[in-house]
Chains A and B, each alone.
Chain A
Amino acid sequence: MDARDSLSPSTVASSAASVTATAAAAAAAAASAAVTVSPNRDGSSGGAEDDAVLSAVAALAKDAALHFQSSKFADCVEVLNQLLLKKQDDPKVIHNIAIAEYFRDGCSDPRKLLEVLNNVKRSEVLACASGEQVEAVSNLGNKVISGSKGSSAANSASIVYTDEFDTSVAILNIAVIWFHLHEYAKALSVLGPLYQNIEPIDETTALHICLLLLEVALACHDASKSADALIYVERAFGVSCMSQVDNGSMAQQQSANLVAKSSSFPSSSLATVASDLASSVIASENPLTRTLSDDALEYETMLSKLDIGGQNAVRPAGLSSSNDLSRTPVDRSFTTVDLKLKLQLYKVRFLLLTRNLKQAKREVKHVMNIARGKDSCTALLLKSQIEYARGNHRKAIKLLVASNNRTDMAISSIFNNNLGCIYYQLGKYHTSSIFFSKALTDTSSLRKDKPLKLSTFAQDNSLHIIYNCGLQYLACGKPILAARCFQKASLVFYNWPLLWLRLAECCLMALEKGLVKTSRPLSERSEVRVHVVGEGKWRQLVTEDGISRNGLVDSVEMDDHMLSNDGQPKLSMPLARQCLYNALHLLNCSESTHSNPDLPSSEENESSEVASSKNSNHKNLNSIESKAFSVTVGIGQVNANGDAREPKGGTSQELIQNSLAHYEGIRRKENQLIKQAVLANLAYVELELENPMKALSTARSLLELPECSRIYVFLGHVYAAEALCLLNKPKEAAEHLSIYLSGGNNFELPFSQEDCEQLRVERTIDSEELTGGLVTAKNSSPDDSQGIVFLSPEEARAALYANFAAASAMQGELEQAYNFATLALSILPNSPEATLTSIYVDLMLGKSREALAKLKQCSRVRFLTSGITVNKSS
């Protein structure tokens, strides 16, 4: 009976004989009861000769499994093919053939395997539909079933009712392949329904599903799903690791919160219940009469039972385990210690993801205890990561070096990449670039390895390393190289708002450096260009207008082809706009669901159209969420009753939930900051593209953000004011600027130096190395290089003066304009904008001589000859 569960090689071998015996006996029993039992695949041919076939089939299946376990894949395929002759079109046989052939052929073609597995999945679903599904279908038609569950109900029905059509292994394998191909979103969308219906699935498969879900959720930085899976595995597989947790202050309120949202009873189904109530009540009289009158004895028993129950509140002990999800641990492919170790490592990774560094540090010690001298490479890497996250870079390097096993290319690339990260944080971008490129070389040599393994694909982290390279190029001021990296990395990171922001930043940097075609570099814009026309008596000076240079950065017709012929991104303002829209969309999505980066795309939808695939996946995500909540109901109740049924498991769970809640707070803040940056960039880009309407609305939404940094508030006002001016509303423009006006003609500093510091990453450097380590960490930390490059507060004030002068000039208040332009020039004597504005005022007042004098004094003026030669003879 337990054949499905006893999976470890040794037990399969030993129990195989008994399995055959019981199988035969059971088949006989089944045949006799065939009328009532649902038809199985060989149900059509009942009888004694079946027994022989059955045992032969079982023997072949056993043989194949043994070959598979001893990695004799060619033999395995051979046996399976014999089996297939006996059991034609059996999906499970086809499935195993595909797996065995895949290994036999050296794992060369995961996509082909994927195709076969998808066919298996589909054919099994079809088989279900034609078989027992009649039951489920009629059920679905019934009003009783809640509408909210919709398709998932149909899906679950196939898993719940149909023993012989269990597709879970095939689906899990599909997810495994997606995972190895780094298609985490797809893996997640496949795993979601499996995880939701995990109860009926046998232990081994269920454990694999959970572990893979954990891995994928961590890879996606999806804290809430990882927390859910982590809690579930700890409870269900009874390996909850003991760990002292100091109960954070947020512990209690947090669990209370979770309970509040945890009702898992679909409300829509209740509505139908209520509406059906009346009818059912009317119909209910007859049976009631029967039971109430006829079974007098039963009635009295019931009455007294209830009455006694009333006095005695204790629940029967044997049944109290209902909240206990624990699964009976039959033997698994892992030993308990192995599983414990694995889970502990996942927990540390989860805590690192949620930035609970203190707890991560504690938990990683447990890893060492459990491992007891076994391969500690992973643990050391995690320790190093903890120190890196805490800003203890020297310690991180030490640990990293200790973990390094240079013989393994996969580890070597990880080592080099992580070292690159540390040097980046130290501000040593060139050193970091050396390590990143070493890491890339390692991964490419990994790919040449033969024979291929499926894990080879997973170990190819090149796209992740390339993202790091992109950041490093951006820091070094190389926008085109950086953009190339980000574009490649987008295959993995397309649902990260940050990726799109970085790509837009590449465009802006290219604009600044004059690398955007048909535009002049911003540096050149920071000077006044004056054309000298004619000579002598006829000499004239033509001052170029700033606006005509700003405008038409890119002709809009280019909009459609943002990629140049070689497929590289053509850095341009329209591209920047597109990227920023993507980022904004992703940010809004994650706001509207939870504060985690949701993963769009579903299995069918191979394209990365973020918007369209988003919805289709939404259901799955929610369904994954629900498991955590149903778990929490139990915990919440326990706490409320003061009944500490599982104190230790509870604390581990609390730790995870607290970290999650804490992280969601951090995450929300981070997303807010990213959103500010995105909107500010977008407003700037719209101004560059001469879309004052869009620039204005973007700047306004920037100003409406809660807890907006003062720097971005300043930018919001400045961009909004300029847009309003372009829209012929200089008065409203001036209002945006006069917010900073304090008494008469003085502008206050729009932000302070501290505001600039705050924009920098708030690092959680804790106090362990307080005595000296912290100081060195601080000293070596690259604060200046990590800081933002932006106007100083004083320069920002000058910008306000200059812009206010421009707005005044627009309104015809030339006197005021003159004064403010002069004030601006007193702070920024070389500001070309302020100079031009004051020249403009002079010219408007007819003082061309003063204008000439200013032109000749300003150091930022460049005189250009007209460059025309007149052919005298013509």
Chain B
Amino acid sequence: MMKTLSADESKTLYALLKSEQSPIHEIAADFNSKFPRARHFLACSSLVLLLQDKKLLHSTQRMVAFAVLHQTYASQKSSANPFINFIINTASDDEGEKYERAFILQLLGSDGSSSGKEFLKQSVADYIQGFDPSVHSFPQCEQLQQQYCDKIHPEPYNCLFKDGSVKSVVPDPDVPSGCDANSIEFDLQPGAKPKLGSGDREETVIGLLRNLSLEGLGPQWIRPLPPRLPVQEGELVWLNPDDNHELLWDYGMCVDTSRGAAVRDLIAKALKGPLVPPQQEQVVVELVNDPKLVYHCGLTPRKLPELVENNPLIAVEVLTKLIHSPEINEYFTVLVNMDMSLHSMEVVNRLTTTVELPSEFIRIYITNCISSCENIKDKYMQNRLVRLVCVFLQSLIRNNIINVKDLFIEVQAFCIEFSRIREAAALFRLLKSLE
């Protein structure tokens, strides 16, 4: 939306100001019909700016302007009129013309009553003609404020730049030096030849209406444009020829799918019971011959416990081969969770010496071992298991496979609990020597 009046709007507004013979309510209606609601405020603000300079408008024009200012917002409470402060100030300005002040007071007083309606039927010219200064009293500013503003009217804008702005119009009379710029000799006389320094008031008023912006002039801020970021290293695209990545033929098409059937068969057997040495040999050899076979031998994490129980060596072989498989962690998880047994311990022990096991895995396995020892009811069995676990732990510690510090308290407590067993005492001494 434009922030100043257009040329046409300026002319229309000025024409309204000149209609001193029309009844006030007609002027108001005219204004309403010629300016859309959204432009009311702008037009009225421009009028206020013109009214602030007492010389610019003729007295009848000023009164029409006030009528417009008031009537445009007359449908609301007077305190809602954005220009009420200006109107009241003019009405209570002792230096102002009496008829103008009286006119404003009557405007302010014109409610829906019949006398009010009567007043609005007059034209401005009629009003001046019938003006009798003696009937009017002029109340003080405070009294008017009390009457017409319920509260201090908030400023229409919250923006300080605009609030703090000043009227940006500066009179710059262009008259020969030494002459009084206020003299009427420089007013353009109809028909007379324009002389140096003369000017047309009407043209100025319309020009001002056209150019006055709502905001006036405020302090200015320097807003530097941010610099363009210099071209970054590697930003310009340097081209290299690509490698030629061609589409591949799938040679797996219709290829015998029974690859490794023998091994698959053997693994299936190995889940049910121990394999005889030649069979074990065969599995190991075939797995070595075809490194991919391990992924196709039919073993899954779920089946691992059976394999461990029945053929720990095969289990070690398979797990070692699967060490880079994305599923290896699932196998480990199964292993750590399966029932504690001689064979599972053997598998774990062998794995610790062949591959890097995640330290978390070993830690949990040891915890598992220790609690198995504690939970066993049969004393004989317990002794045997404790001995085994102690030897296992010593082996892990000596081989630097576990960091003693991680498990120190747990293992120490275990040693003390079973200190009656020779191997536990030995483990305890080993722990102490490492301290």
Contact = CB atoms under 8 A, between A and B. Distances in A.
Contacts of A825: none
22 contacts: A3-B251, A3-B256, A29-B262, A54-B256, A96-B253, A145-B330, A163-B296, A281-B371, A288-B341, A288-B372, A298-B342, A303-B387, A458-B242, A535-B203, A537-B175, A543-B168, A543-B217, A684-B223, A684-B226, A789-B228, A807-B219, A836-B220
A138 interface: yes
Interface in A265-279: 265-267, 269-270, 272-274, 276-278
Contacts of A19: 255-256
A548 interface: yes
A543 B170 CA distance: 8
A160 interface: yes
B265 A293 contact: no
A645 interface: no
A870 B202 contact: yes
Given A542-B212, A634-B356, A303 B391 contact: yes
Interface in A27-76: 27, 29-30, 33, 36-38, 40-41, 54, 57-58, 60-61, 64-65, 68-69
A180 B243 CA distance: 11
Interface stretch (A360-368, A505-513, A653-661, A770-778): A505-513
Given A465-B237, A634-B356, A866-B210, A809 B381 contact: no
B174 interface: yes
B166 A96 contact: no
Contacts of B100: none
A857 interface: no
Given A90-B254, A163-B259, A547 B162 contact: yes
A791 B233 CA distance: 24
Contacts of B356: 322-323, 633-634, 637
B413 to A, nearest CB: 16
B227 A196 contact: no
Nearest to A802: B222
A645 to B, nearest CB: 13
Interface stretch (B113-121, B123-131, B145-153, B345-353): B345-353
Contacts of A196: 326
Interface string B393-432: 0110011100000000000000000000000000000000
A464 B242 CA distance: 14
Given A19-B256, A454-B247, 6 more contacts: A1-B290, A160-B327, A284-B372, A316-B353, A806-B220, A843-B217
A325 B356 CA distance: 13
Given A23-B256, A309-B399, A377-B241, A38 B298 contact: yes
Given A65-B249, A92-B253, A417-B239, A160 B338 contact: no
Contact of B174 (A411, A498, A537): A537
A173 B245 CA distance: 9
Nearest to A64: B253
A803 B222 contact: yes
Interface string A394-418: 0000000000000000110110011
B75 interface: no
Contacts of B158: 728
B236 A421 contact: yes
Interface stretch (A198-206, A237-245, A250-258, A558-566): A198-206
Given A90-B253, A684-B225, A322 B323 contact: yes
A712 to B, nearest CB: 8
Interface in B198-255: 198-204, 206-208, 210-255
Contacts of A464: 237, 239
B242 A537 contact: no
A672 B119 CA distance: 72
Contacts of B301: 139, 144-145
Contacts of B249: 65, 68-69, 96, 99, 169
Interface string B161-179: 1101111111111110000
B187 A537 contact: yes
Nearest to A718: B224
A49 B2 CA distance: 91
A433 B16 CA distance: 62
A771 B239 CA distance: 30
A453 B142 CA distance: 91
B224 A309 contact: no
B295 A381 contact: no
A742 interface: no
Interface string B297-325: 01011100000010000000000100111
B86 interface: no
A389 B233 CA distance: 8
A272 B364 CA distance: 11
Given A169-B248, A270-B360, A288 B327 contact: no
A349 interface: yes
B38 interface: no
B343 interface: yes
Nearest to B233: A761
Nearest to A474: B228
Contacts of A211: 243, 245
Contacts of B219: 805-807, 809-810, 817, 836-837, 840-841
Nearest to A174: B247
Contacts of A138: 302
Contacts of A90: 253-254
A238 to B, nearest CB: 13
B395 A677 contact: no
A22 interface: yes
A306 B320 contact: no
A173 B337 contact: no
B19 interface: no
Interface residue tally on B, bucketed by range: 35 or more
The size bracket of the interface on A is: 35 or more
B170 A541 contact: yes
Interface majority SS (helix, strand, loop, mixed), chain A = helix
A759 B230 contact: yes
Given A58-B256, A319-B354, A547-B215, A538 B228 contact: no
Q: Sorted from nearest, which 10 A-B pairs have the closest CB atoms?
A: A534-B204, A536-B199, A30-B258, A265-B358, A533-B207, A23-B256, A200-B295, A866-B207, A806-B219, A833-B220
A763 B233 contact: yes
A370 interface: no
Contacts of A87: 254
A7 interface: yes
Given A99-B249, A467-B237, A806-B219, A540 B171 contact: yes
Q: Most chain-B CB neighbours within 10 Å: which of A202, A378, A537?
A: A537
Contact of A534 (B203, B327, B332, B376): B203
B215 A545 contact: yes
Interface stretch (A604-612, A613-621, A719-727): A719-727
A554 interface: no
A693 interface: no
A310 B398 contact: yes
B354 A322 contact: yes
Interface string A343-383: 00100010001010000000000000000000001100110
A833 B215 contact: no
A468 B300 contact: no
Contacts of B361: 265
Contacts of A807: 219
B385 interface: yes
Most B Cβ at <10 Å: residue of A103, A285, A291, A630 = A291
B395 A166 contact: no
B160 A265 contact: no
Contact of B384 (A292, A309, A414): A292
A437 to B, nearest CB: 15
A176 B246 contact: yes
Contacts of A459: 241-242
A718 B197 CA distance: 46
A4 interface: yes
B241 A414 contact: yes
A302 interface: yes
